[in-house]
Structure 1
Amino acid sequence: MADLQQRIQEWLSPTFDQNTQETLQKMIDAKASDLEESFYKDLEFGTGGMRGIMGVGTNRINKYTLGKSTQGLSDYLLKQFSNEQVKVVIAYDCRNNSDTLARTVAEVFSANGIKVYLFSSLRTTPELSYAVKFLDCHAGIVLTASHNPPEYNGYKVYWQDGGQLVPPQDGEIIATIDALKYSDIKFDANEDLIELIDKSVDGPFVDASVKNGSFNTSQDAKDDLTIVFTSLHGTSIKSIPQTLEQAGYKNVHIVKEQAEPDGNFPTVKSPNPEEKAALKMATELAIKVGADILIGTDPDSDRLGIAVRDQNNEMVLLNGNQTMIVMVNFLLEQYKKKGFKGNEFIASTIVSTPMLRVMADAYGVAYKEVLTGFKWIAKLIQDNPDLTFIGGGEESYGFMVGDFVRDKDAVTSTLLACEIAAQAKAKGSSFFQHLQEMYEQYGYFKEHLISLVKKGISGAEEIKQILKNLRENPLKMINGSPVVLVEDYQTSKSHNLQDNTTSNIDLPKSNVLIYYTEDGSKVAARPSGTEPKIKFYISVQQAVEENDNLADVEKALDDRIESIKSELQFE
């Protein structure tokens, strides 16, 4: 408690501006319920960088927490590239205060003698990733909190390859930041070092998106595809309509009520394309215009949700695994037509569908699995320059086509989805039918995600206790099927319960626990790196025989998932 009071008192010192001091004093006088939450710890870098509620305090997003991180990053960059003019590029999304926070970050960099390219208005995360390499920068920053509620903002750091920070740089930078005091932040900008940019990157980025996301679709097929698109008040309105138009798609219906960027996200409870409710307006428009495909993106345009017409001609929202399966299979087919060279690979994460490994084996290409977060896929590409990355994604609605962008990319992925849908329709098939055919070929894999929100100090402790219990009291059976393998990424150990052997996991340590059962089920548990949640990932599978009805197989898998949920009482 004494440490907490010391933290609070520091923010009442002259190091902090008058507005900050006055706001904090009002919180103290009012005995604000969130005062302890605001100061009890420092904001941490998670799987997607630093993300939190905006406000006063060490555990909040504000000019001082971002300023301190930027000062530490500046010190690190200047040390690593001592003989060069260090350059960074900064983008920001539609969130409240993103523009002013981005300006603050730019000023701190410039005050340290670093050249800054600052986008003059909001831009997508994939364009920022692209811009790092396009402008030959040493690092990049994007101000975004993805699909979190309106009170959140965040700060993601990218390195020279256009991918997010990974070891060892992340640990070294965090150590540099932790060693600083708030009084060490240099806020006095050198305006000569700040250059506003926009169209100089926009055009090349759209060109690259069209080049990487187009696959010889005829103009007739493009003209025959009816698309509904919503940016959910986010930044994708800056790139996706332009990319679709340049690629030749003319029949695009934009949800006008959600086209204006707005950090309050007035028409949705959550700007998350994973959620059916977020795409309600788009679905209504899709029904009205008879759309073949509906696409919605999150605020910074790195993730996309897709709805397509099913066998009953109803619009159905696909989950991230299903979208990824269809996209990867399509890309594999394109590479197969050209002829595999033997150095190709696809990639996904440890909590995504096991179906991808089966598909990779069928095509004879390598499958690589990483921890949750696209930074690890980017690291794979960086660490294996002799290999060709075809594409890959993760269950949380992120996908990447090729390696010209080194993060989730809803811009190019939207075009890819339209290419798949257009070509399928031209052949009398559909995006949904492709998915069904893959289930018949590779087996039916079905996944379900449970996210439990646990806010604040007590929530963090509860999440810690849940995982502690799972480790100390490991499951022996799941839904009547014996557990045969347990992977603990925190200890980097994999325990085979059938022969009682233990092997090492060759991935960085992470607080993830995964159970595998005899009947092919998989249950994973991990705390979110960007939200106050603990997540449980359930995956079940069943071989599909020649005379099987897919609807019956799906029903059996749904029942198995419900049984697992009921038995483990995750909800």
Structure 2
Amino acid sequence: MRHKPDILKLAKEWLTPVFDAATHDAVQDMMASEPKELEESFYKNIEFGTGGIRGVMGIGNNRINKYTLAKSTQGVSNYLQQSFPNQTLKAVIAYDCRHNSNSLAKVVADVFSANGIQVYLFSGLRPTPELSFAVKKLNCQCGIVLTASHNPPEYNGYKVYWEDGGQIVPPEDRNIIDAIEKLDYSQIKFEANEDLIQYINAEIDEAFVASSIANASFDTTKEAKENLEIVFTSLHGTSITVIPDTLAQAGYSKVHIVLEQAIPDGDFPTVQSPNPEEPEALAMALALADITKADIVVGTDPDCDRLGVAVRNNEGQMILLNGNQTMILMTAFLLEEWKKAGKIDGRQFVGSTIVSTPMITKLATAYAVECKMGLTGFKWIAKMIKDFPELEFIGGGEESFGYMVGDAVRDKDAVAATLLICEIAAQAKERGSTVYKELLKLYVTHGFYKEHLISITKKGIEGLAEIHHMMVSLRENPMKKINGQRVTMVEDFQTSKVKNVLTGKEKSIYFPKADVLIYYTEDGSKICARPSGTEPKIKFYISVNVTLDIVDNFIKTEALLNDKIKNIITDMQLN
């Protein structure tokens, strides 16, 4: 097979003396016998998405390896020196359980130190939210975490945090990308200054746990805490280092840990995918819940920023909540606690994203609190805190199983969120209620909103082209009706325009540009199409709603919404 000239040219650059002998051998092997892998590895530079860099580990400029991460770190170093002149520069680095994370973290530390930057490197794996916390705690200008979140074992990633503890946003993200793209691999400074690398552990751990307890505890009685039966699984990830200790110090003594999944392991041997969004990932935890008669199950993804929750329904069966449901429960609880404390005075807000449930806005309005919406990704919620310093941030979440309690951590945080959902469960149980019953009450009060996610995977170069074609088609041939309902409005975040389909009038959307398209129909349904920024997927977010008059009508009403979702999927040919 003949290679495209540009692919061969890029590959041959990796045969120069800048790269080590093992890299030379791997590239030559691909050139000789793996043409498809060669093309996938070199056809583009690995890119920053909504969560930084994330990709398959391997050799090449489209792979995660010590050279691509070192180049990124050199670019970040150059931009730090430009952005903070005449300051002592400091960066903190954490990593998760994935293969090569510890060695890649040391490469990142070496490059920072070679550029004269003080480095704080966690001595072992740690949760991503602890990295966000540490950036502010240690007064760093930058933080890096090596993680691929819930992706398959062959992935790793590199997320960049700025001095506020949040992930990079405009203009930093674009400026950092520009700084990286200007570099040649020969310009990377690899020679570490070990005097500038300081290992950190217990002191930051203790401060992080104390902060989590302070932010997510709400006067739950000692008896209520001791009476709550919890099952917890870390899914072979980093949360095992922090969450059991946090729950214990907060007063929760009946915590049953899924021991088979408690050992950090980048192969994730007991699950097909370490993603708490997927029911299979919590199967072992649910089985343990049946044995222990647990009230609640919590499972976190490998880097401990997302959490999956299961609770008992009215028949006593364990059911999984989706990310929108946990977000609604947590936000409603926080709003009620702030209201009882007399802390709501019109200068507070909650945050969410454009693909999450519209119910969050209804909830905020009921408490006279503003709800700010951002693009997909918690970096936009963290940016809200920075952009509106005159307002107090209560909490925020998104549909993808992430939540942030207060602003001590500026990213989705499964540590504080785990404690918060346990507070909700403990207080409900003490009142003779359940988390499930509390959710149904919210549906009666604010409207019954039900969401469904369709995620279509399209891998490789061809897959990227397919996803692009799907978005082009949705824009150039917009649907007039969906499930028999007229489309009333279309929001296009790529063109920054919202169009009233019935009148033809357009107005501007004041959001950063993004490849997101949202259809609204006359019955209040909402369908959002969005290519993932971190995975080879296109996602369709479907939201439908109806009034729920009484709790007793929940099952019948849910069946109607389920049918509506199925009809939308069929009509849009998403099945």
For the superposition of Structure 1 and Structure 2, which TM-score range results when normalised by the shorter chain?
Answer: over 0.9
* Offset, 1:82: 1.7
Which residue of 1 is the match for residue 411 of structure 2?
407
SS at the partner of 2:54? Answer: strand
**1:273 and 2:270 aligned:** no
Task: Write out per-residue CA displacement over residues 348-395 of structure 1, whole angstroms, 9 at most, x where no aligned residue.
Answer: 000000001111111111011000000000000001111011101000
- Of 222, 225, 231, which residue of structure 2 is paired with 1:222? 225
Poorly superposed stretches of 4+, deviation over 4 Å: none
Instruction: Work out whether residues 441 and 551 of structure 2, in 8 Å CA contact, stay in contact via their aligned partners in 1.
Output: no
**1:456 and 2:460 aligned:** yes
* 1:296-445 superposed matches below 5 A: 296-339=299-342, 340-445=344-449
The whole-number CA distance in structure 2 between the counterparts of 1:57 and 1:425 is 54
Which residue of 1 is the match for residue 517 of structure 2?
513
The whole-number CA distance in structure 1 between the counterparts of 2:35 and 2:304 is 35
Which residue of 2 is the match for residue 184 of structure 1?
187
Task: Write out per-residue CA displacement over residues 129-155 of structure 1, whole angstroms, 9 at most, x where no aligned residue.
Answer: 000000000000000000000000000
SS at the partner of 1:530? Answer: coil
If the length of structure 2 is used for normalisation, what is the TM-score? 0.99
**1:478 and 2:475 aligned:** no
The whole-number CA distance in structure 1 between the counterparts of 2:552 and 2:492 is 36
Letter aligned with residue 443 of structure 1: G
Which residue of 2 is the match for residue 504 of structure 1?
508
For structure 1, list consecutive stretches of 5 or more residues without a partner in the other structure. Answer: none
The whole-number CA distance in structure 2 between the counterparts of 1:275 and 1:297 is 11
* Offset, 1:547: 8.2
**1:120 and 2:138 aligned:** no
- Of 241, 252, 255, which residue of structure 1 is paired with 2:255? 252
Which residue of 1 is the match for residue 574 of structure 2?
570
* Offset, 1:23: 1.3
**1:2 and 2:5 aligned:** yes
Letter aligned with residue 145 of structure 1: A
SS at the partner of 1:534? Answer: strand
Letter aligned with residue 493 of structure 2: Y
Amino-acid identity (%)? 61
The whole-number CA distance in structure 2 between the counterparts of 1:33 and 1:497 is 44
- Of 62, 77, 91, which residue of structure 2 is paired with 1:59? 62
Which residue of 2 is the match for residue 197 of structure 1?
200
The whole-number CA distance in structure 1 between the counterparts of 2:83 and 2:485 is 53
The whole-number CA distance in structure 1 between the counterparts of 2:265 and 2:549 is 49
* Offset, 1:342: 1.5
* Offset, 1:31: 2.8
Task: Write out per-residue CA displacement over residues 293-333 of structure 1, whole angstroms, 9 at most, x where no aligned residue.
Answer: 00000000000000000011000000000010000000000
The whole-number CA distance in structure 1 between the counterparts of 2:149 and 2:179 is 26
Letter aligned with residue 507 of structure 2: S
For structure 2, list consecutive stretches of 5 or more residues without a partner in the other structure. Answer: none
The whole-number CA distance in structure 1 between the counterparts of 2:11 and 2:526 is 45
Which residue of 1 is the match for residue 176 of structure 2?
173
Task: Write out per-residue CA displacement over residues 470-497 of structure 1, whole angstroms, 9 at most, x where no aligned residue.
Answer: 0000011010110000000000000012
If the length of structure 1 is used for normalisation, what is the TM-score? 0.99
* Offset, 1:338: 1.2
**1:550 and 2:540 aligned:** no
SS at the partner of 1:529? Answer: coil
Instruction: Work out whether residues 239 and 300 of structure 2, in 8 Å CA contact, stay in contact via their aligned partners in 1.
Output: yes
Task: Write out per-residue CA displacement over residues 173-218 of structure 1, whole angstroms, 9 at most, x where no aligned residue.
Answer: 1101000001110100000000000012000000000000100000
Task: Write out per-residue CA displacement over residues 442-476 of structure 1, whole angstroms, 9 at most, x where no aligned residue.
Answer: 11100000000000000000000000000000011
Structure 1, 494-503 or 466-475: larger mean CA deviation = 494-503
Which residue of 1 is the match for residue 53 of structure 2?
50
SS at the partner of 2:394? Answer: strand
The whole-number CA distance in structure 2 between the counterparts of 1:329 and 1:309 is 19
SS at the partner of 1:556? Answer: helix
The whole-number CA distance in structure 2 between the counterparts of 1:190 and 1:364 is 53
Q: 1:287 to 1:547 in 2, by over 3 A?
A: closer
The whole-number CA distance in structure 2 between the counterparts of 1:499 and 1:336 is 41
The whole-number CA distance in structure 1 between the counterparts of 2:117 and 2:553 is 62
SS at the partner of 1:34? Answer: helix
Q: For this pair of structures, how many residues does the alignment match? A: 571
* Offset, 1:341: 2.1
- Of 462, 465, 469, which residue of structure 2 is paired with 1:465? 469
- Of 100, 111, 135, which residue of structure 1 is paired with 2:114? 111
